Structure 1
Amino acid sequence: MLAQARHLARRVRVAQRVTWLPLLVLAVITFAAVPAHRYGWQLTCVPVADGELCHGRNLALIVYWQVATAVAYVAIAYGYLRAARARGLGGRVMPYVVTGIALNVLVQLVALLLANEGWGMPEGSERPDGLAMFLTRLIDWGPAIGAALLVLAWLERHLALLLFAAGYLAVLLVPVNFGWGTHWGGNWQFLPPLVIQGVVLLLGGLGFALAQRPWQHR
């Protein structure tokens, strides 16, 4: 009886999963962030002894991610709850949604503080050291998405999603740009990492969608 109860509980957890939905929705908002990344920068320059020092800030990008992630998590919650009702099951997605929104708000506050301090894309200044670059990548929207996916993996007891989220975070925190932006790329040097993030989410969503085909659970 205990084995049957465990088997039934596992079947319920599997039936509750709509893992592909958040990955595809988050992939869409990642790709849609390209215009804000490219055209949202504003430079503020001050004269110095040997010329001028310019700092950039991108408030449009902050606003975009705030609105886009809020809409995304609302859509994810709706999709999960609708799927749960269609299957006659309860939904466990709300802790994931709350965590995702809370992490997004935290990232927004940090980004605003950094913007007020003049952080951004300084022109003519030295590149930050490795630790500063790592912290910059860590305090960003991508890692916030990945951390929330870890919560979803725990809620669903989903080992595959746990491994995917860990791999996604590793991709975000490793500075992969294939040389783009080192000597070329200009204002588009943000593009390769952003596209890589979006492609990882997209491929993950498609993979989980194939693995969770409805007819596999009939």
Structure 2
Amino acid sequence: MTTESAPAAGDPRRLLADMRTLAHRVRLDQRMTWSALLVLAAATLVAIPFDWFGMKLDCAPDGSCAYARRGMLYYWPWAMLLAYAAIAFLHVRAARARGLGSRVWPYAITGAVTTVVFPGAWVALAVYFSNHPYPEGPLPYWWYVLDRLVMPWGMIGVTLLVLAWLERNVALLLFTVGYLVLVLLVLPMSDGTRLVHWGGLRAQMAVPQLIVGVVLLLGALGFRRRQR
């Protein structure tokens, strides 16, 4: 009696392992995390001069100031729509060049939806406080967190969670969690007086945006280097 060894190519376990390895490589090749972060970083940094020069200030002799960030309101909806369109274009182009499919459309659609949330929440708050007196005393902390979440930089974090899920990207998930902690809990986006005490109100609101843009840019460079 003689025995013959089956070729490795016919081993079901080896075939299954090869299929899993191939599927993993395809998922890695489909990732364009760095390009999404780069586009979002550029949109965030370009927003700073719009917010700076488009901010309407009305300061009283006692030093108190009322402000309206009209430049940011007019800039971000269009900027985010263009940003997510650019991200979708880059993903589809890279996928076609590699002969792969693209899973970026749910991310782009989520980005478009969140783009509507920002001006919608802004208008809703403006209408509410025009018909109701502003609450006396300090606002609860959760109110500030919610306010930062519906701002453009908070919406960026929400869409990055969707991208991490689509790409099955644990590294991007960890980056996004850290980013959201920075935006929602660390940086005072609505009141920069605790962060800087120079340059007036415009500088106090520009510095957190600058930090967010730099963080996104560093993330883009890091993921690009990791993928290469």
TM-score normalised by structure 2 residue count: 0.80
Q: Distance in 2 between matches of 1:131 and 1:44?
A: 28
Aligned pair partner of 2:51 in 28, 37, 41: 37
Q: How does 1:184-203 map to 2 (within 5 A)?
A: 185-203=200-218
Distance 1:59 1:179, change over 3 A: closer
Please name the residue that 1:78 is paired with: 89
Q: 8 Å contact 1:57–1:118 — kept in the other structure?
A: no
In structure 1, which of residues 99, 104, 114 is the aligned counterpart of residue 125 of structure 2? 114
* Aligned partner of 2:145 among 120, 129, 134: 134
Q: Does 1:9 align with 2:20?
A: no
For residues 40 and 128 of structure 1, the distance between their equivalents in structure 2, rounded to whole angstroms, comes to 26
Q: In the aligned structure 1, how far is the partner of 2:138 from the partner of 2:53? A: 22
Deviation string, structure 1 residues 48-74 (Cα, Å, up to 9, x no partner): xxx9x9743223311200011111111
* 1:90 aligned residue (97, 101, 126): 101
* The structure with more radius of gyration: 2
Moved over 6 A (4+): none
Mark the CA change 1:128 to 1:35 in structure 2 (over 3 Å): closer, same or farther. Answer: farther
**Is the 2:51–2:70 contact (alpha carbons within 8 Å) kept by the matching residues of 1?**
no
Distance 1:126 1:29 in 2: 35
Instruction: Name the CA distance, whole Å, in 2 between partners of 1:43 and 1:197.
Output: 24
Superposed CA deviations along residues 87-118 of structure 1, whole A, max 9, x for unmatched, are 00010000000001101111221012223445
Partner of 2:79: 68
Structure 1 gaps, min length 5 = 46-50, 120-124, 214-218
Q: Distance in 2 between matches of 1:74 and 1:100?
A: 9
Aligned-pair identity (%): 44
Q: What runs of 5+ residues in structure 2 fail to find an aligned partner? A: 1-14, 131-135
Q: Deviations over 1:130-161 (max 9, x none)?
A: 33322221221111111111111111111111
How far is the alpha carbon of 1:179 from its aligned partner?
3.9
Name the amino acid aligned to 1:78.
F
Is the Cα–Cα contact under 8 Å of residues 24 and 205 in structure 1 kept in the other structure? Answer: yes
1:211 matches 2:226: yes
Aligned partners of 1:20 and 1:204 also within 8 Å: yes
Match of 1:169 in 2: 180
2:33 paired residue number: 19
**Structure 2 equivalent of residue 122 of structure 1:** none
Tell me the distance in 2 between the aligned counterparts of 1:81 and 1:187: 38
The two structures, once aligned, show a CA RMSD in angstroms of: 2.5
Where 1:33 maps in the other structure, the secondary structure is: helix
Quote the Cα distance in structure 1 between the aligned partners of 2:74 and 2:198. Answer: 30
Q: Which amino acid aligns with 2:175?
A: F
**Structure 1 residues 202 and 117, CA, compared in 2 at 3 Å: closer, same or farther?**
same
TM-aligned CA deviation for residue 3 of structure 1? 1.4
Q: Is the 8 A contact 1:16 1:84 kept in 2?
A: yes
Give the one of 28, 33, 52 matched to 2:42.
28
User: Going by fraction, where is helix more abundant, 1 or 2?
Assistant: 2
- 2:174 aligned partner, one-letter code: L
Compute the TM-score of the two structures, normalised by the length of structure 1.
0.83
**Contact in 1 for aligned 2:193/2:204 (Cα 8 Å):** no
> In 2, Cα distance between the equivalents of 1:179 and 1:147?
26
Give the AA of the match of 2:21.
Answer: H
Counterpart secondary structure, 1:32: helix
Partners of 1:55 and 1:118 within 8 A in 2: no
